[in-house]
């Protein structure tokens, strides 16, 4: 079967620094691949390149066998790629409900008919008039948001109408993941979903990611917590200074001398970061 996501020679330079250096990667449908590496290895930059937030200087990104290199983030979202952000980017003044409804934006059909040129004006008109079809769609999505939120137990449901800025840090991370799920993604990219979470919250998150994987979702995961990486991943890719230095099954990669050296060479920064962040 053809891979879902293919990266070929993907490269991004910032001035003299090569943040992502000729990365090749194949991700099959339903696979969960983790990307690990010390700080500043280029992991987030790689995500930015895949999701259209940044353009590569060289190389190509193929999604479902189509070249999507340097397409805009909004186009890629419409194709089914969802991501979360390392530092958390919820919409601070929007309620939890609205945050997650934005996640479902690409799935609005009734209110956003695919009409060229005057499409936006029709969208404006439908938003003001709100015929039955538009109302029904909105209702359906609101119900769906509640189902997604139920995945997080009682963490978010009681706070569904609160603005996101009033949530705890961990809850904001959950809102981000819920928002990504609302897109019904074909490919999900998670950038350190457990950063700043305590061990029990981390375990909860790990359970959720495991569930998503079991449901067949294709996931690319950046994570510093090796325990979690080892348990969840089908494969692990190790990056250092922009380059892929190792790839393979978790245990094999973990014992790879190059990987150990990369972590030691950087003063165990990855592990240290993990402790201090938690």
Partner 1 sequence: MSSWLDYTINGLIVGNVYALVAVGLALIFGVSRLINFAQGSIYLVGAYIGWVAVVQLHTPLPLTIIVVAAAAALVGLVIERFGLRPLQNSVRIAPLLATIGISFVLDQLVMLTFSPNPRALPSQLPDVRFQVGGGTIGPLDLLIAGVGLTSALLLFVFLRYSKLGWAVRAASQDRDAAMQMGVDVNRVNQAVFGIAAALGGVSGMLVGMYYNQIDTAMSLQATLKGVVAEVVGGAGNVPGAVIGSLLLGLVESYGVAVFGTSYRNLFAFLLLVVVLVLRPNGLFASARQAPPEPLTGTFIAPSRPLRIPRWALLAAAAIFALLPLLPVSFYVLQTLINAWLLGMLALSLTLVAGTIGQVSLGHAALLAIGAYTSALLSLSAAVPVGLAIIAGGLMSAALGTILISPSFRLRGHYVSIATLAIGEIVSLVILNWESVTRGPIGISGIPPLSLFGYDLVSPASIYWFSFAVMVALALLQARLLGSHLGRSFRAIRDDDIAARAYGLSLNRYKSLAFIFGGFAAGVSGGIAAHLYSYINHETFNTQQSILALTVVILGGLGNVVGAVVGSVALVGLPELFRIAAEYRILIYGIVLLLLVRFRPQGLLGTI
Ligand X SMILES: Nc1ncnc2c1ncn2[C@@H]1O[C@H](COP(=O)(O)OP(=O)(O)OP(=O)(O)O)[C@@H](O)[C@H]1O
Residues that bind ligand X (CB under 6 A): 14, 17, 19, 37, 39-45, 86
89 binds partner 1 (CB under 8 A): yes
Q: Where are the alpha helices (DSSP H) in 69-153?
A: 73-79, 96-103, 119-129, 132-150
What is the per-residue burial (b if ≥16 Cβ within 10 Å, else e) of 171-185?
A: bbbbbbbbbbbbbeb
CB under 5 to 8 A by kind: which of Mg ion, ligand X, partner 1, none does 262 bind?
A: none
Contact segment (CB under 8 A) with partner 1 among 121-129, 214-222, 241-249, 265-273 equals: 121-129
83 binds partner 1 (CB under 8 A): yes
In the bound state with Mg ion, the residue whose beta carbon lies nearer, of 37 and 59, is 37
CB under 5 to 8 A by kind: which of ligand X, Mg ion, partner 1, none does 258 bind?
A: none
Radius of gyration of the chain (CA): 20
| 174 three-class SS | helix
Number of CB atoms found within 10 A of residue 275's CB: 9
Pairing of the two strands 32-36 and 218-222:
parallel
44 binds Mg ion (CB under 5 A): yes
By CB under 8 A, the residues from 225 to 264 that bind partner 1 are: none
CB under 5 to 8 A by kind: which of ligand X, partner 1, Mg ion, none does 40 bind?
A: ligand X
| Bridge partners, 11 (sequence order) | 58
In the bound state with ligand X, the residue whose beta carbon lies nearer, of 31 and 192, is 192
77 binds partner 1 (CB under 8 A): yes
Contact segment (CB under 8 A) with partner 1 among 23-31, 71-79, 143-151, 247-255 equals: 71-79
Contact 24, 87 (CB under 8 A): no
Pairing of the two strands 243-248 and 235-240:
antiparallel
Q: Distance (Å, rounded) from C-alpha 119 to C-alpha 92? A: 29
**Contacts with Mg ion, residue ranges (CB under 5 A):** 44, 86
């Amino acid at each position: 079967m053809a891979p879902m996501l293919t990266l070929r020679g993907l490269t991004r330079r910032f001035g003299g620094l090569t943040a992502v250096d000729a990365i090749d990667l194949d991700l099959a449908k339903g696979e969960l691949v983790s990307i690990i590496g010390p700080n500043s290895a280029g992991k987030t930059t790689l995500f930015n390149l895949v999701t259209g937030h940044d353009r590569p200087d060289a190389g190509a990104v193929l999604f479902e066998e189509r070249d999507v290199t340097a397409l805009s983030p909004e186009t890629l979202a419409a194709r089914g790629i969802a991501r979360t952000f390392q530092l958390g980017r919820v919409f601070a003044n929007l309620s939890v409900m609205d945050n997650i409804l934005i996640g479902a934006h690409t799935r609005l059909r009734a209110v956003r008919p695919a009409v060229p040129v005057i499409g936006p004006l029709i969208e404006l008109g439908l938003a003001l008039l709100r015929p039955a079809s538009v109302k029904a769609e909105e209702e359906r999505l609101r119900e769906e948001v509640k189902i997604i939120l139920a995945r997080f137990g009682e963490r978010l449901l009681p706070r569904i109408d609160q603005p996101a800025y009033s949530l705890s840090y961990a809850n904001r991370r959950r809102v981000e993941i819920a928002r990504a799920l609302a897109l019904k993604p074909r490919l999900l990219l998670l950038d350190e979903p457990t950063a700043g979470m305590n061990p029990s919250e981390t375990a909860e998150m790990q359970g959720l990611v495991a569930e998503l994987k079991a449901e067949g979702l294709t996931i690319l995961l950046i994570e510093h917590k090796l325990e979690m990486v080892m348990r969840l991943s089908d494969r692990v890719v190790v990056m250092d200074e922009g380059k892929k230095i190792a790839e393979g099954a978790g245990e094999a990669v973990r014992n790879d001398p190059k990987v150990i050296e990369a972590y030691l060479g950087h003063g165990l920064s990855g592990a240290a970061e993990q402790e201090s962040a938690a």
